[in-house]
Structure 1
Amino acid sequence: MPSVAYERWRENRIAEVPSTGIWRVVEAPLYPSIDALLAIRPTGNAGPVLGSSDARRAWWLVAAGTATLLADVPGAVVHPAGWVLNCPAPGIGAEGRTWLHPPYGTGLLTPARLLREALLDARVMEAMER
C-alpha cells in the first residue's frame, strides 16, 4: 500500500488506490453483494469487499486474469487496470464507505468464479422476492 494511503487514513480520509498488478475491481449492487458475501465467507475464500450505503454499491477485489468472468452478471461492472478505488482505512468508515470484508494483508482475492455464482444466485433470489 502506498505511504500516501496510510497518511490519508491516519487523517480519517479516503485513499485513492489504483487497481494495478494482480487485482481488478468488480463493482456490483450492494444488496446482492451482501448476500453473495454471506454465501462466500463460510468457504474461507472471501477477499476484500468495500461497500457504500450511500451509493448502494459494493466493490470486490478479484484476480486480474479472472475478472472478465463477471462481465455478463447483471448490474456488475468490471473496471480496467488503473481504475481508482476510493477506500477508507480498514475498520474505519469514511464518506459513506466501509469495508464489508476488509483486506487483512494476506493477498487473498475473491475467486471470480465463486463471486459470479453467488451474485447470480443473489440476483435470482432478489427477483423472486419481488
Structure 2
Amino acid sequence: MPDMDVALKDAMQVDGAIGAALVDRGSGMALGIAGGDKDFDLSVASAANTEVIRAKLRTMEMLGLREKIEDILVTLDSQYHLIRPLTGRSGQGLFLYLALNKDRANLALARHQLKRIEGNLDI
C-alpha cells in the first residue's frame, strides 16, 4: 500500500493539480504537502480547510444527519478545491486536500482519482 508521499505524488498527477496535502483535522496541521508555490501556501490552506470540515460536521450534527462526508467541493473562479475526509481506520481524523486549476481539471475524474488514492493510502 502506498504511503503518504506516494499518495501525494499520485494526487499531483491528477490533471490540473496545483497542490495536495494530507491534513490532521484536529490540529489543522499538514502532515505532508506536494505542490503549491509562494502565492499558494498549502499549510495555510490546510489549516483553513480544517474549519470548513468542522463547520460541515457541526451542521450535519444539528440536522441529525448520520451520513459520512464523501468530499467537499469549493469552486472558485479559476480553481476547484476538493476536501476528502479519510474513512479508513488508520486515516481517522485526517483528510486529503487537492487544489485544481479549473481550466485544466476534469472534476468527476479528479474526485474518482482522489477516492482511489484514499483507498490505496496506508498511514
TM-score normalized by the length of structure 1: 0.30
TM-score normalized by the length of structure 2: 0.31
